[in-house]
Each structure stands twice: as C-alpha cells, then as structure tokens.
C-alpha cells in the first residue's frame, strides 16, 4: 500500500505546478511506493510490464523527473553506471548506502554522527551543505570468510536485481 503521505505530497506538488492528475502518473506512483525497493528506470519498466501495466518509457522518465522534483524520490549512484532511484528518503531523509563489492546488495543505514560531521567539515571550509551523498563499497562477513557472497548465489536463484557493477 502506498503511504497516504506520498499521495498527498504528490497531489499538492502537481497542483502547485498547475499540472494534471492522470491515470498514468497515478499508476506509476502507486507502483513505485508499494514497495521500498530501489530501481532503475528499466527495472521499473520491466516490473510494471510484468504486472500488466505498460507505460511508455518516455512517460516513465518524465514521471521520475517529477517525483524527484517533488522530493519523493532521490537519484542515487550505486557505482554501476546506471541511475538508481530510491523511494525511502521520505522516511529517512539522510540515510546512506553500503554496497557489497561482491553481490552488489545495498544496505541502507543512518548515522547522526556522520551527518553532523559532514556538516561541520563543510562549514569549516566556508560552505553551507545542501545535500550529501555517501556510498561505501564493502565486503560482508560471509564474503570475507568464504570468498564469495551468499547473497550472490541466492539472488541469482531468485532472479533478483544484482550486478551493481559495471559491465
């Protein structure tokens, strides 16, 4: 279920810009916020297609841009050369991402110390921080122990999203 807060925020954004509420936009927004998964435009397209919806890619891209502008979605860089969208910034406005170097699995985390520290450093340099993005690439315990990540195998079986690696 899409959180009501999303619906409200999106609707008021649409209204404030003099845009229109349409079936396409609604179905895209609902589809995205039914889960908290990250996705690339292409993944979203595939998932929606499998679910029977067939938005055109153009509309998808246009709607993603709107959602970013409305601050409901953030573009993040997972280091794989693709644009990934993250729907979880409403709940956790300043979380960061940890990416497994083996399987590419993404772990979100929040840490107040980090946020404060980034702010302090910026101020010391004479800047007022607007936005910070931190990505830590790391090896999980099992990867270190076994030489490969169990998520890698598991994800392959389940056909999940994986390769946060460049070709």
Partner DNA sequence: CTGATTGCAAATGCTTTGCACGCCA
Partner DNA sequence: TGGCGTGCAAAGCATTTGCAATCAG
Report, in Å, the least distance between residue 167 CB and DNA: 6
The residue whose two tokens read 């079986």 is 157
Among 5, 49, 57, 91, binds DNA (CB under 7 A): 57
Q: Which does 62 bind (CB under 5 to 8 A by kind): DNA, its own copies, none?
A: DNA
Of the pair 90, 101, the CB lying nearest its own copies is at: 101
Q: At what angle do helices 57-69 and 23-33 cross, to 10 degrees?
A: 70
C-alpha 67/C-alpha 82 separation (Å) is 18
- Angle of CA points 42, 47, 48, to nearest 5°: 100
C-alpha 93/C-alpha 90 separation (Å) is 6
C-alpha 123/C-alpha 79 separation (Å) is 27
Pattern 103-132, its own copies, x by CB under 8 A: ----x-x-x-xx--xx--xx--xxxxxxxx
Which residues contact DNA (rule: CB under 7 A)? 14, 18-25, 40-42, 54-59, 61-63, 65, 82-83, 166-167
Which residues contact its own copies (rule: CB under 8 A)? 77, 79, 98, 100-101, 107, 109, 111, 113-114, 117-118, 121-122, 125-141, 144
């Amino acid at each position: 279920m899409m959180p009501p807060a999303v619906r409200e925020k999106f609707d008021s954004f649409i209204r404030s810009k003099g845009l229109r509420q349409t079936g396409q936009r609604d179905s895209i927004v609902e589809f995205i916020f039914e889960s908290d998964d990250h996705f690339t435009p292409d993944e979203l397209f595939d998932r929606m297609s499998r679910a029977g919806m067939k938005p055109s890619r153009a509309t998808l891209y246009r709607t993603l841009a709107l959602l970013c502008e409305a601050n409901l979605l953030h573009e993040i860089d997972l280091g794989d050369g693709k644009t990934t969208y993250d729907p979880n910034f409403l709940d956790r406005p300043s979380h960061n991402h940890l990416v497994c170097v083996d399987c590419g699995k993404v772990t979100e985390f929040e840490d107040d110390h980090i946020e404060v520290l980034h702010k302090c450093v910026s101020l010391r340099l004479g800047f007022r921080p607007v936005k910070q993005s931190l990505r830590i690439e790391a090896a999980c315990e099992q990867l270190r122990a076994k030489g490969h990540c169990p998520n890698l195998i598991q994800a392959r079986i389940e056909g999940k999203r994986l390769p946060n690696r460049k070709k």
